[in-house]
Amino acid sequence: MYLRGKYRETDKMCDLICEHYRVLLVMSRFGIRLGFGDKTVGDVCRETGVDVRTFLAVVDVHIFPEDEQGMDFPEVSVEALIAYLHLSHDYFLHYRLPDIRAKLENVLRHERDTLAKAILLYFDEYATEVSRHMRYEEETVFPYVRALLGGKPLERYSIAVFEKKHDRIELRLKEFKQIIIRFYPSQSTNEINSVLFDIFTCEQDLAAHNSVENRLLVPAITKIERQKSMKHERTA
């Protein structure tokens, strides 16, 4: 079932993580903790109450972020996916971005005041943008999906609207990174490099997060919408 050299639920969780350390981020957002010994992916998921198929599908998107072909993902649990996306938003807004900002602030202590302010201002504008992007999903998209799952009549919204306006939030982080690399008049490089490493991984992580929404959530919801409208036509 999980072809394309992908992972199965009978693989060991430890092997999966050692081969793809970025899965650590996915794991913690699903609420899975370390210390699982030699258990398989399936066992660890079941013990934590995580839907195995959804977990593996999200892992796949993270491991193959650029792979747009073959979107033949197995059925995911929409509830589990929404719960995961919600925790991811929380992670980016309340942990990841503030953490980068704090490190940035620490590095900038040694710089001219105006430069420090200019860089932090850029970062804050970016964080506001990310927060707006995610708030839209939390306040408009997720409630719509929950209503759809609850069998309530469709409101005047469809997942196609989301798909159309869903922009790539990581792109501006790319610009930020490039500005720092090209123009930062650095004395000591160790500290700023460490922040850059964080920004690089955060950018990748945000891109993967967006992919999860585009490649797992959108197709799953489109399918439900189609089933509902077919049912509606039959009864009408």
Q: Give contact residues for another protein (rule: CB under 8 A).
A: 66, 68, 112, 114-115, 117-119, 121-122, 124-125, 128, 164, 168, 171-172, 174-176, 178-180, 183-185
Alpha carbon 149 to its chain centroid, in Å, reads 22
3-state secondary structure of 126: helix
As a whole number of angstroms, the distance between CA 161 and CA 171 comes to: 21
3-state secondary structure of 183: helix
Q: Which is nearer to another protein, 111 or 138 (CB)?
A: 111
As a whole number of angstroms, the distance between CA 100 and CA 198 comes to: 7
3-state secondary structure of 233: helix
Q: Measuring CA to CA, which residue among 57, 95, 88 is closest to residue 205?
A: 88
Q: Which is nearer to another protein, 172 or 228 (CB)?
A: 172
Q: Which is nearer to another protein, 117 or 152 (CB)?
A: 117
Whether the Cβ atoms of residue 199 and residue 100 lie closer than 8 Å to each other: yes
Smallest gap from Cβ 149 to another protein, in A, equals 26
Smallest gap from Cβ 117 to another protein, in A, equals 5
Q: Which is nearer to another protein, 114 or 190 (CB)?
A: 114
Smallest gap from Cβ 181 to another protein, in A, equals 9
Beta bridge partners of 40: 12
Q: Which is nearer to another protein, 17 or 108 (CB)?
A: 108
Smallest gap from Cβ 230 to another protein, in A, equals 20
Smallest gap from Cβ 45 to another protein, in A, equals 31
